[in-house]
Amino acid sequence: MSQRSVGSTRQQRLDAILESLVADEQASPQQLAARFGVSLMTVHRDLDELQARGFVRKFRGGVDVARTGSFEIVAALRRRIGVAQKRAIAAAAARLVAPGQSVLLDDSTTAAHLVPHLVEVEKVHVITNYLPSLALLAARGDVEFTAIGGRFDAGHESFLEAGAAAAIRALRVDLAFLSTTTADLQGIYHQEDKIVTIKSEMLRSAARRVLLLDSTKIPQTSLHLVADWSAVDDLVTDGATPADVLDGVRERGVTVHVVAVPPSPVSR
């Protein structure tokens, strides 16, 4: 998401506040004020700015960086959350790709972690609507890729709406890698109908559909059903996903891949 014009010192504090909230979702404005050595009024102005950008939601007595069933946090924040899980899931998912295949990636921050692996696959053709993934592919310079156009959505850092949906509808790819905000035994979900449209088209365009979902999203629901499990061929998740949910997904004909997540390094 584009940043408003603010001073560099304040921008550094905004970044630090956001990092603090990601690490400690229970941090109050009072605690943040003490932590950064500023007044409570200054912290509230900073939180108002972060809310205007879509990073946080303020409520009476506190602030929240978590998604809800009807609210999705912006991609710039999602990229900072659950990085170890996303990397492990993407590394495992990349092993499903064979040389010469066409691969469609959605605009999820999980699928973006596939890019460093895909560029090592011989003659792979990558297709995506996610701008950060496109930038990585362009920087590599020796990978064949296609950009899905449409109206750019800054909050999602991707191309969406009718133009993107039409471009995806015209595709027939070997694999599609997608993520959603939540899933349960009934299906997979997202909070925004415009995202549901794009993901539904991606599912229809692929011969093999691979869902990338870390355990924090299962089992939960969001406002809109994207698809039931008949639209998914593989689920790649981490070992903290409940075993009974995984068994239920397998019973629905989905191949489940469970990956181990390396422990985060301990600061000394």
What interhelical angle do 40-52 and 8-23 show, nearest 10? 80
Q: Is residue 48 part of a domain?
A: yes
Q: Looking at residue 78, what is its pLDDT?
A: 74
User: 170 and 97: one domain?
Assistant: yes
Using alpha carbons only, how large is the chain's radius of gyration in Å? Answer: 19
42, 66, 90 - which closes a domain: 66
Residues 212-263: tens digit of each pLDDT: 999 989 999 999 999 999 999 999 999 999 999 999 999 999 999 999 988 7
User: 208 and 151: one domain?
Assistant: yes
User: 139 and 190: one domain?
Assistant: yes
User: 16 and 115: one domain?
Assistant: no
Residues 171-214: tens digit of each pLDDT: 999 999 999 999 999 999 998 899 999 999 999 999 999 999 99
Q: pLDDT at residue 4 above 60?
A: no
- Which residue has tokens 């993520």? 179
Q: Is residue 239 part of a domain?
A: yes
User: 29 and 133: one domain?
Assistant: no
The C-alpha atoms of residue 206 and residue 175 are separated, in whole angstroms, by: 5
Task: Using a pLDDT cut of 70, give the percent of the chain over it.
Answer: 89
User: 176 and 58: one domain?
Assistant: no
257 strand-pairing partners: 236
Q: Is residue 268 part of a domain?
A: no
User: 13 and 107: one domain?
Assistant: no
Q: Looking at residue 68, what is its pLDDT?
A: 57
User: 158 and 88: one domain?
Assistant: yes
User: Which residues are CB-contacts of 75 (< 8 A; sequence separation ≥ 6)?
Assistant: 1, 107, 109, 132, 155, 156, 157, 158
111-130: average pLDDT: 96
Q: Looking at residue 3, what is its pLDDT?
A: 44
Q: Is residue 211 part of a domain?
A: yes
Comparing 6 with 76, which gets the higher pLDDT?
76
What mean pLDDT is reported for the chain? 88
Q: How confident is the model at residue 267 (pLDDT cuts 50, 70, 90)?
A: very low
Q: Which residue segment(s) compose the domain that 56 sits in?
A: 8-66
Residue 23 CB neighbours (<10 A) = 9
The C-alpha atoms of residue 117 and residue 97 are separated, in whole angstroms, by: 10
Q: pLDDT at residue 266 above 60?
A: no
20, 35, 66 - which closes a domain: 66
Q: Looking at residue 2, what is its pLDDT?
A: 41
The CATH number given to whatever domain includes residue 55 is 1.10.10.10
Residues 123-173: tens digit of each pLDDT: 999 999 999 999 999 998 889 999 999 999 888 899 999 999 999 999 999
The CATH number given to whatever domain includes residue 211 is 3.40.50.1360
Long-range residue pairs from 11-20, CB within 8 A, at least 24 positions apart, any chain:
13/38, 13/46, 14/46, 14/49, 14/50, 17/43, 17/46, 17/47, 17/50, 18/50, 18/55, 18/56, 18/65, 18/77, 18/80, 19/80
Residues 63-92: tens digit of each pLDDT: 776 555 545 666 667 777 778 899 999 999
User: 130 and 246: one domain?
Assistant: yes
Q: Looking at residue 201, what is its pLDDT?
A: 97
The C-alpha atoms of residue 90 and residue 212 are separated, in whole angstroms, by: 8
Q: Please give the tally of structural domains in the chain.
A: 2
The C-alpha atoms of residue 110 and residue 79 are separated, in whole angstroms, by: 8
Task: Decide if 68 contacts 74 (C-beta within 8 A).
Answer: no
User: 212 and 240: one domain?
Assistant: yes
User: Which residues are CB-contacts of 34 (< 8 A; sequence separation ≥ 6)?
Assistant: none
Q: Is residue 12 part of a domain?
A: yes
User: 169 and 113: one domain?
Assistant: yes
17, 41, 66 - which closes a domain: 66
Comparing 176 with 8, which gets the higher pLDDT?
176
Q: Looking at residue 66, what is its pLDDT?
A: 59
- Structure tokens that stand for 27 in this block: 């941090």
User: 91 and 224: one domain?
Assistant: yes
Q: Looking at residue 159, what is its pLDDT?
A: 96
Lowest mean pLDDT among 24-28, 37-41, 76-80, 108-112: 76-80
Q: Is residue 151 part of a domain?
A: yes
Comparing 33 with 267, which gets the higher pLDDT?
33
Q: Is residue 253 part of a domain?
A: yes
Task: Decide if 202 contacts 106 (C-beta within 8 A).
Answer: yes
Q: Is residue 1 part of a domain?
A: no
